[in-house]
Structure 1
Amino acid sequence: MTDFITIAIFHLPQETYILKTLLERENIPHFFENETIVSVDPFASIALGGIKLKVHPDDQERTQQLIDNLNNPLHIV
């Protein structure tokens, strides 16, 4: 996991729940740095720089697509 890079930063654990489910469903190896401490002490998010989503560089594009889809949920047909 030393090769993993930060692709997104969140300030609240609630912001990561849906994304975590999508990443697991897509079998994308990942981890959320600082997730546990921020869930115990939300003010630690400021001191630690937030909850950092880390993925392997090979999965960066797929992960970014998932994040973009979450940020743009409206699809007009």
Structure 2
Amino acid sequence: MAERLVTIATFNEATEAHILKGRLESEGILCFLGDEHIIGAQPFYSAAVGGVKLRVTEQDVEEAKAILSRIHRGDNQFDYDTIELAPPMQEHTEEITCPRCGSDNVNEEKYNKTVFSLSYLLLGFPLPFLSRKFACYNCGNTWKGKGKK
């Protein structure tokens, strides 16, 4: 026998409904959103269709409502002390500095903007010609290569 879905909350915006749906799913409650695509396509239809509906199975209604009320009250019963955090990932990035002023406020330009723009204008699609240039935001210097480390 198919389980009946019960609407436990309605929202004017799909974003809030998705957030609370994710919270309920993280608690192990199967839930669905109704009319989210209608309101996503035409936000002014929200009042006409009754908003985005958060629906759960009939057997999970009480638990879902308790979780939603706990979220709205701001009570969080999650014990953060029991979590084992993963060690931070070490990125292998090298610090690039400007050879003129020594600033680390630099940006790498990977593509030649002139060729990129002209090919898009003439051919209708851009050709990504690689050009490893760097530009300093502090002094305006541009250079090829890596710069000081």
TM-score past 0.5 threshold: yes
Cα distance, 1:2 vs. partner? 5.7
Q: Percent identity?
A: 35
Q: CA RMSD in A?
A: 1.8
What is the TM-score with the length of structure 1 in the denominator?
A: 0.82
- For residues 53-68 of structure 1, the aligned pairs below 5 Å read 53-68=54-69
Kept after mapping to 1: 8 A contact 2:21/2:54: no
Unaligned runs of 5+ in 1: none
1:42 matches 2:43: yes
Cα distance, 1:41 vs. partner? 1.2
Q: 2:92 matched to which residue of 1? A: none
Instruction: Give the match's secondary structure for 1:43.
Output: helix
Count of aligned pairs? 75
Cα distance, 1:62 vs. partner? 1.1
State how far apart, in whole Å, the 2-side matches of 1:36 and 1:22 are: 20
State how far apart, in whole Å, the 2-side matches of 1:29 and 1:57 are: 10
Runs (4 or more) in structure 1 with deviation over 4 Å come to none
Structure possessing the higher radius of gyration over alpha carbons: 2
Unaligned runs of 5+ in 2: 77-149
1:27 matches 2:16: no
Distance of aligned partners of 1:62 and 1:74 in 2 relative to their CA distance in 1, 3 Å threshold:
closer
Q: Residue 71 of structure 1 aligns to which amino acid in structure 2?
A: H
Cα distance, 1:17 vs. partner? 2.6
Q: 1:10 matched to which residue of 2? A: 11
State how far apart, in whole Å, the 2-side matches of 1:36 and 1:53 are: 13
Distance of aligned partners of 1:69 and 1:37 in 2 relative to their CA distance in 1, 3 Å threshold:
same
Cα distance, 1:15 vs. partner? 1.6
Which structure shows the higher helix fraction? Answer: 1
Instruction: Give the match's secondary structure for 1:28.
Output: coil
Cα distance, 1:27 vs. partner? 2.2
What is the TM-score with the length of structure 2 in the denominator?
A: 0.46
Q: Residue 16 of structure 2 aligns to which amino acid in structure 1?
A: E
